[in-house]
Amino acid sequence: MIKSIGIALAGFGTVGAGVFDYLQHQSDLLAERSGFRFDVRSIVVRDLKKNRDVAPPSSLFTTSWRDLLKDPEIKIIVELLGGTTDAFDLIKAAIESGRMVVTGNKALLAEHGQEIFALAKKHDVPIFYEAAVAGGIPIIQSLRDAFVGNRIESIHGILNGTSNYILSRMQEAGLDYKAALAEAAELGYAEADPTFDVNGGDAAHKAIILAALAYGFWVKLEAIRVDGIEAVTAADIFFARNLGYNIKLLATIRSAADDSIEVTVAPTLISKNSVLASVNGVFNAIAVKGDLVGDALFYGRGAGRKPTASSVIGDLVEAAFALKSEKIHGNGRDKGKINFSFHSLYGTSRAAADICSCYYLRLTVEDQPGVLGKIATLLGDAEIGIASAIQPESLEGSEASLVFMTHQASYGMISLALEKIQKLSCVKSKPVVFNVEAV
């Protein structure tokens, strides 16, 4: 028998419209595969008069999320409002009312995940959030279920399609940052305000969720280093290429020897021979290394109506099976379906200043004798080893670029050294520092 389940959509933007459209036009396929039909009983929108390319009956619309809780036939609430205020209040109220929640809200989970999942555990209510990270790539389910027997050694991810498109165009077409950003906006890959994409904030939220799944606790956003791609120039792309690297906005998550967890989001030089270096355009990719599975790579579209709606639909079906299990086995739900498990196998997150990496440094300096020696001395005083240095020829008396590749050093050490270097009269602009990762 095909079971009908009442659901509500809180939010009807790109993803919400995609979910509704699929449920309308592919309901037979979904019913045949899963045994469920999903009856959309209410949709929360901010503007009732807005023109939409997907047009549900107007009777479904409401402007208040509280209306969703008045309908006892709504068993699953899909939260796609965005933001961390109304969405937070809605999810808390839904959990307290015993309804299951599907969400794609990475900012909310990154900032309030600990509280939300503690509340879910208290009320024994499942939460499903595959759409919160990497669009249609099933990374949440894989970390939670398929890799449950693994100690995760590291996760490296290209998690923001807008930034990746910009860097790809700078690499492929020789565009500067502003031109590549303008092209991304024209094609609809960048928002009207792209700040959160290009400054690393979006990728950082996703990295926090992945770190929580892999290591059992929630890392605070303010405790991690988050750098965006705004400082990447065509010169950096050129130097990186000549050194055998591509530049990507990379989320790096890994366990250290003392069981502390390192989380960093920053522009990173990756060897051209790495699979991640060849991930271009708006695509995302996540490389996971487990002690049993070894290396695993996930690749696909990380955003957009259809890929993200695909993840939401998958979560709806999983939530429906949880509902079915509850009815068969009584009121007690399977606590494993809460979909996040706190555990104490790992310590705390390592401070950003203590995380070690190799670095790419680019300085704009006066083209005068002795400049290279002064800077090398300050790096040496900070116990930062120089792997290589590049000083291209320039017109006599003009400014020149000076590029260093360093050995391993903590971010705190490199930051202190750069503070001193920037004070040199021969240094004419703020130093640029990117990570270098072997992935």
**pLDDT value for 368:** 85
Per-residue pLDDT of the chain (439 residues; tens, 9 = 90+): 899 999 999 999 999 999 999 999 999 999 999 999 999 999 999 999 899 999 999 999 999 999 999 999 999 999 999 999 999 999 999 999 999 999 999 999 999 999 999 999 999 999 999 999 999 999 999 999 999 999 999 999 999 999 999 999 999 999 999 999 999 999 989 988 999 999 999 999 999 999 999 999 999 999 999 999 999 999 999 999 999 999 999 999 999 988 899 999 999 999 999 999 999 999 999 999 999 999 999 999 988 899 999 999 999 999 999 988 766 444 544 544 566 777 777 878 999 999 999 999 999 999 888 999 999 999 999 999 999 999 887 655 578 899 999 999 999 999 999 999 999 999 999 999 999 999 8
Q: What's the rounded Cα separation, in Å, for the pair 171 and 237?
A: 6
Which ranges constitute the DSSP H helices of 26-101?
Answer: 27-34, 86-96
Q: What's the rounded Cα separation, in Å, for the pair 143 and 131?
A: 14
**pLDDT value for 327:** 60
Q: What's the rounded Cα separation, in Å, for the pair 250 and 252?
A: 6
**pLDDT value for 335:** 43
**pLDDT value for 257:** 84
> Domains, the chain, ranges and CATH?
3-135+304-338 (3.40.50.720), 140-301 (3.30.360.10), 353-437 (3.30.70.260)
- 288 in Cβ contact with 298 (< 8 Å): yes
Beta bridge partners of 119: none
- In this structure, the number of other CB atoms found within 10 A of the CB of residue 175 comes to 18
Beta bridge partners of 404: 361, 389
Structure tokens at 207: 């990295």
Structure tokens at 305: 């109506």
Which amino acid does the sequence have at 367? D
Phi, psi of 210 (to 5 degrees): -65, -40
3-class secondary-structure state, position 353:
helix
Residue bearing tokens 């530049």: 247
Answer yes or no: 122 catalytic: no
- Catalytic entry in 206, 327, 374, 420: 206
- 111 in Cβ contact with 122 (< 8 Å): no
**pLDDT value for 336:** 43
Q: What's the rounded Cα separation, in Å, for the pair 436 and 432?
A: 13
- DSSP character string of 286-306: EEEEETTTEEEEEEEE-SSHH
